[in-house]
């Protein structure tokens, strides 16, 4: 597999300068199945400029320290992401971990100045869990060193945590419990086939929310008695439903959760343990409800809504079931929701097309949005970064007699064009293109004058479960036909140059590159079209001929 950056650089050069017959002084390079021929060497000044974009950084929120002395974030200073302590908004980042390998997710203990983090070796994804004591700076491995381990859901008392592990047979993902006083010694809570994940502990630490994940369309939530292992299902037998996050109510008699049962979208619901029934909490939201987070006293519920790929933040008073006022947030994606000690502030991560992910807090008493981190952008001027425009273009089929439209985010340079175009197809298959910061997209737009179009072809998540299933089985190539329809739409736009179009995708996004692009044509059901890079024009003012 070719590194995405190498492939992307090749595509950009072709879009920018085109190719003609291979010159005698241009080397032919063969790397397995990849043949590079007729593409000039990238000039050094271009490499240096691209390196600035590549060195943009971002920050994510791992959690607040229980004594209120600051927050733990993850960010990169050298080559890998490590954990840092930030004591105040805009304050210096004090590095806590120093490994050659990147540190993955971290979970802060709710009562002690310590945390659990995950780390693997050489990108193996066989993650091991480590305990880091902040006072001494010492870390110790808690897991066996050979299995794959994830999680770190702390009990409210801070004395135990639940995590997922493949320790039993290397295939199934069980749930184990470990006491911090007995590191390295764990007991299984769930040993069963499939992939199991641990969620939130009940307020009295006697029960645990867990999930068995099957696919993007199917999962099964349970409440488990920690002492006995008895499971109470939170779903109807025989129902094929997709469930999301879940959090306990204040009295521990039920849980708020998200699911698409009886709905196209994941709605916010409440499950009553005594009756075994559930009800819809918010029927006024016709998009997927995303992450959930309870305030420490469990009087407020914060949650996000994925509205056409753009996140909206809600803060609901559970006494009145009404939303509280929040400051306006920029268009983008919201993550890392976490209430601070005492519940006076809500931490979150904002990632927008014009700004890498950074950590903020909302001060609930005043409604002020406070920025805690200022991630570097490689010395570039962030004022030049372009925003995303949400569009919909017509595809080849109809829904209830109306032509189906496909959502896409468009990133445009300044000027009237016509501009060359790069179609960037997300992976998955059930992924979703969202308006987040991409240094590569910003480079293409600002430095090469290329329009980037990132579509959410059928099969993408976020648009209802019917849309998600539209590319299943024998309908897989219909998602490729959506790209063909995008080519037709591009040809109708005077600001876009239909003679200079490239397609780029990773993982499932590369599916459209392996086979021919398909689009409808007059007089036949569909027309197959190969995108031949050698036919593109050669001239571009910013690069050598």
According to the model, what pLDDT value does residue 1 have? 33
The CA distance from 12 to 10, in Å, is 5
Instruction: With H, G, I as helix, E, B as strand and everything else as coil, classify residue 17.
Output: helix
The pLDDT value given to residue 505: 86
How confident is the model at residue 35, as a pLDDT?
Answer: 85
Neighbours of 322 (CB within 10 A): 9
CATH number at residue 523: 3.40.50.1820
Nearest to 75 by CA among 334, 346, 359: 359
Residue 257 has a pLDDT of 97
Is 116 within 8 Å of 130 (Cβ atoms)? yes
Report the pLDDT value the prediction gives residue 236, as an integer from 0 to 100.
Answer: 85
Q: Provide the number of structural domains found in the chain.
A: 1
Radius of gyration of the chain from its Cα atoms, rounded to whole angstroms: 25
* Residues of the domain holding 493: 4-54+381-535
Per-residue confidence (pLDDT) for residue 226, from 0 to 100: 97
Q: Does 17 map to a domain?
A: yes
Say how many C-beta atoms besides its own lie within 10 A of residue 413's C-beta.
17
Q: Which residues contact 292 (CB under 8 A, 6 or more apart)?
A: 244, 245, 246, 247, 256, 257, 258, 268, 301, 302, 303, 337
Q: What is the pLDDT of residue 417?
A: 86
For residue 264, give the nearest of 306, 317, 298 by alpha carbon: 306
Locate 264 and state its tokens. Answer: 């196209």
Whether residue 515 lies inside any domain: the answer is yes
| H or E element at residue 16 | helix 4-17
HEC-encoded secondary structure of 265-286:
CCEEEEEECCCCEEEECCCCCC
Neighbouring residues of 32: CB distance < 8 A, sequence distance ≥ 6: none
CB-CB contact of 26 with 538 (8 Å):
no
pLDDT at position 211, please?
Answer: 96
End-to-end CA distance of the chain: 29
β-sheet bridge partners, residue 518: 528
pLDDT one digit per residue (tens) for the chain, 545 residues? 333 444 444 455 445 444 334 444 557 888 888 888 877 778 899 889 999 998 899 999 999 999 999 999 999 988 899 999 999 999 999 999 999 999 988 999 999 999 999 999 888 999 999 999 999 999 999 999 999 999 989 999 999 999 999 999 999 999 999 999 999 999 999 999 999 999 999 999 999 999 999 988 899 999 999 999 999 999 988 788 999 999 999 999 999 999 999 999 999 999 999 999 999 999 999 999 999 999 999 999 999 999 999 999 999 999 999 999 999 999 999 999 999 999 999 999 999 999 999 999 999 999 999 999 999 999 999 999 999 999 999 999 999 999 999 999 999 999 998 999 999 999 887 899 999 999 999 999 999 999 999 999 999 999 999 999 999 888 989 999 999 999 999 999 999 999 999 998 888 777 655 543 443 333 323 322 222 222 223 333 333 32
Name the packing angle between helices 4-17 and 439-448 (round to 10°): 20
CA 406 to CA 101: how far, in whole Å?
40
- Does residue 124 sit within a domain? no
Q: For 42, which DSSP code? A: P
DSSP per residue, 220-251: EEEEEETTT--EEESS-TT----EEEEEE-TT
Under a CB-based contact definition with an 8 Å cutoff, are residues 162 and 189 in contact? Answer: yes
Whether residue 175 is contained in a domain is answered as: no
**What distance in Å separates the CA atoms of residue 10 and residue 303, rounded to the nearest whole number?**
41
Q: 118 lies in a domain? A: no
Q: Is the peptide bond before 409 cis (omega within 30 degrees of 0)?
A: no
User: Which residues, in sequence order, are bridge partners of residue 524?
Assistant: 521
Does residue 478 sit within a domain?
yes
Kindly tell me the number of DSSP H helices and DSSP E strands found in the chain: 6, 37
Q: Please indicate, yes or no, if residue 517 is contained in any of the structural domains.
A: yes
462 contact partners, CB below 8 Å, separation of at least 6: 287, 288, 306, 308, 309, 432, 434, 456
Reported as type and span, the H/E element at residue 438 is: none
Q: Examine residue 270 and say whether the peptide bond preceding it is cis (omega within 30 degrees of 0).
A: no
How far CA 298 is from CA of 160, 234, 302, 326, 473, in Å, comes to: 21, 21, 10, 18, 43
Which long-range contacts link 82-91 to residues 24+ away (Cβ below 8 Å)? 83/115, 83/117, 83/132, 85/134, 86/359, 86/372, 86/373, 88/372, 89/361, 89/370, 89/371, 89/372, 90/371, 90/372, 90/373, 90/374, 91/372
What is the SS3 assignment for 382? helix
Q: Are 543 and 17 in contact (CB under 8 A)?
A: yes
């Amino acid at each position: 597999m070719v590194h995405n950056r190498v492939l992307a650089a090749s595509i950009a050069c072709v879009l920018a300068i085109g190719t003609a017959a291979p010159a005698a002084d241009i080397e032919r390079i063969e790397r397995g199945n990849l043949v590079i021929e007729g593409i000039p060497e990238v000039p050094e000044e271009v490499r240096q400029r691209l390196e600035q974009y590549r060195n943009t950084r971002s920050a994510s929120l791992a959690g607040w320290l229980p004594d209120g002395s600051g927050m733990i974030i993850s960010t990169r200073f050298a080559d890998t992401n490590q954990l840092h302590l930030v004591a105040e908004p805009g304050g210096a980042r004090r590095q806590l971990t120093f490994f050659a390998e990147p540190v993955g997710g971290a979970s802060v203990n709710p009562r002690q100045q310590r945390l659990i983090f995950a780390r693997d070796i050489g990108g193996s994804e066989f993650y091991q869990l480590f305990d880091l004591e902040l006072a001494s700076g010492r870390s110790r491995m808690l897991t066996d060193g050979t299995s794959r381990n994830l999680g770190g859901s702390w009990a409210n008392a801070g004395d135990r945590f639940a995590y997922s592990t493949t320790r039993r047979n290397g295939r199934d993902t069980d749930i184990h419990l470990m006491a911090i006083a007995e590191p390295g010694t764990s007991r299984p809570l769930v040993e069963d086939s499939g992939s199991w994940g641990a969620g939130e502990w009940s307020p009295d630490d006697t029960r645990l929310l867990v999930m068995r994940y099957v696919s993007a369309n199917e999962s099964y939530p349970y409440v488990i008695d920690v002492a006995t292992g008895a499971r109470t299902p939170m779903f109807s037998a025989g129902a094929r439903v997709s469930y999301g996050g879940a959090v306990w109510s204040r009295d521990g008699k039920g849980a708020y959760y998200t699911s698409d049962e009886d709905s196209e979208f994941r709605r916010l619901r409440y499950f009553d343990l005594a009756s075994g029934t559930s009800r819809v909490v918010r029927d006024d939201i016709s998009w997927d409800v995303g992450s959930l987070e309870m305030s420490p006293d469990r009087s407020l519920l914060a949650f996000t809504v994925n509205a056409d790929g753009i996140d909206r933040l809600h803060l609901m008073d559970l006494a009145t079931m009404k939303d509280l006022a929040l400051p306006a947030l920029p268009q983008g994606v919201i993550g890392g929701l976490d209430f601070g000690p005492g519940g006076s502030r809500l931490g979150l991560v904002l990632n927008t097309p014009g700004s890498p992910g950074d950590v903020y807090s909302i001060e609930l008493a005043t409604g002020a949005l406070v920025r805690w981190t200022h991630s570097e952008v490689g010395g570039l001027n962030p004022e030049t970064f372009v925003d995303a425009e949400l569009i919909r273009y017509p595809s080849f089929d109809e829904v209830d007699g109306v032509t189906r439209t496909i959502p896409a985010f468009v990133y445009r340079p300044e000027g009237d064009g016509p501009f060359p175009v790069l179609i960037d197809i997300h992976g998955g298959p059930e992924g979703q293109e969202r308006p987040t910061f991409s240094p590569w997209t910003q480079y293409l737009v600002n430095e090469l004058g290329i329009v980037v179009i990132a579509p959410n072809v059928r099969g993408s998540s976020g648009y209802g479960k019917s849309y998600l299933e539209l590319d299943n089985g024998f309908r897989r190539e219909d998602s490729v036909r959506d790209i063909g329809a995008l080519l037709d739409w591009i040809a109708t736009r005077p600001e876009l140059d239909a003679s200079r179009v490239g397609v780029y995708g990773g993982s499932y996004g590369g599916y459209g590159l392996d086979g021919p692009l398909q689009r409808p044509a007059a007089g036949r059901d569909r027309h197959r079209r190969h995108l031949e890079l050698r036919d593109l024009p050669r001239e571009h003012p910013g690069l050598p001929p």
